[in-house]
Amino acid sequence: MKKSIIALLLFAFIVGCSGEKENKQDSAELKEIDLKGQTVSIDYKFAKGDNIKYKLTTITTANETIQADSLIESKSNENTIYQFDINVIEVEPDNTAELGITISSLKIDADINGQKFVYDANAENDREQNQKFIQYYAIHNVPYRARVSNKGEVLEVSRLDKMVDKMNSLQPDNQKLTTEQKVQISKSIGDAIIRPLTQLIFRELPDKQLALDSTWVKSYPSQLSVFNINNKVTYKVDGFVEYDGNRAVNVSADLNTTWSGNKSGEENGIKYSFEDPKIEGEGKILFDIDRGLLIKSETGTTVELKANLEMMNSLQQKIKTVRKDITTNKNIIELL
């Protein structure tokens, strides 16, 4: 189950869609408004004492096939739902906010080759069940802090020591950690899980004035097997609408990638040859201009990777296999 968080973060270039208000008014039915040539800037407008709730749903499917003497297939589906409770503790002069955040609800429903796994962190689970899902158990219902700019960038996460304590409590010997060990583990949890998860619920916004058909681009690197991937996301203003009495902006996003790396090589006696990776992604965002909050967004990504492998068995006979992996991710965020 540890793969799910990693998969969530690799190509989650935009997140979320349809909150509670979406049930009342579908985005396709929102009234378009004409700004009459006026441009707008979109920013988070944090105010001390505000309480905000977001629901993040991640849906991941993975299909793996290995063709050798026979065909081996593996299929998995996982649906994970998080609820983030956010309190604005302080707002600095530059409008950077210090937030208190708690993942107050966390549920997982997965099917791996027909074997079902269900975990509800809010339920009364025994020690063995919590150990199986320790990476989720550790972050559930433990308050932490985050500093977020008015452009949506998560600058820092802190106060993760209680997550370390919670994780350590499930270790067989519940060993006493030194201060240095706690700091190192807290940093690992923050860098690998908490900061990326927190960034998923905040859009990084452009530092420019926007009008109809305005575009901006965000690029970031990632790693996929032997490939160095350069992800380029192009955002475009599709229009302005009225939402709950406020002005809101509809934005579309399109992911394009380029790659570099040696597709062929040998490692530990195994010769490999990869085909070009196939990566696609797109999404929609609705942001409340006047309220300064993300209302909804949704993304879909597909990653396909295929490799030819050649190795020697114990009888020094050459074995050739073809492995193909297709992973799709859908991330949905809702303002509650």
Sequence-separated (6 or more) residues with CB below 8 Å from residue 163: 138, 139, 142, 144, 186, 189, 194
pLDDT at 128 over 60: yes
Q: State the chain's mean pLDDT as an integer.
A: 89
- HEC states along 221-279? EEEECCEEEEEEEEEEEEEEEEECCEEEEEEEEEEEEEEECCCEEEECCEEEEECCCEE
CA–CA distance, 221 with 223 (Å, rounded to integer): 7
Which pTM was predicted? 0.85
pLDDT at 24 over 50: no
> Using one digit for the tens of pLDDT, what is the confidence trace for 161-196?
999 999 989 887 767 888 898 899 999 999 999 999
pLDDT at site 27: 55
pLDDT at site 28: 53
pLDDT at 25 over 80: no
Q: What percent of the chain lies above the pLDDT cut of 70?
A: 91
Sequence-separated (6 or more) residues with CB below 8 Å from residue 179: none
Q: Tell which residue, 194, 78, 79, has the closest CA to residue 138.
A: 194
In the chain the domains, ranked by start, together with CATH numbers, are 3-335 (2.30.230)
Which span out of 260-274, 303-317, 322-336 was modeled with the highest average pLDDT? 322-336
Q: What token pair was written down for 322?
A: 């073809």
pLDDT at site 37: 84
Q: What token pair was written down for 282?
A: 């797109």
Q: Averaged over 87-94, what is the pLDDT?
A: 97
pLDDT at 61 over 80: yes
> Worst-scoring range by mean pLDDT, 25-34, 77-86, 142-151, 202-211?
25-34
Q: Averaged over 113-136, what is the pLDDT?
A: 94
pLDDT at site 22: 41
pLDDT at 289 over 80: yes
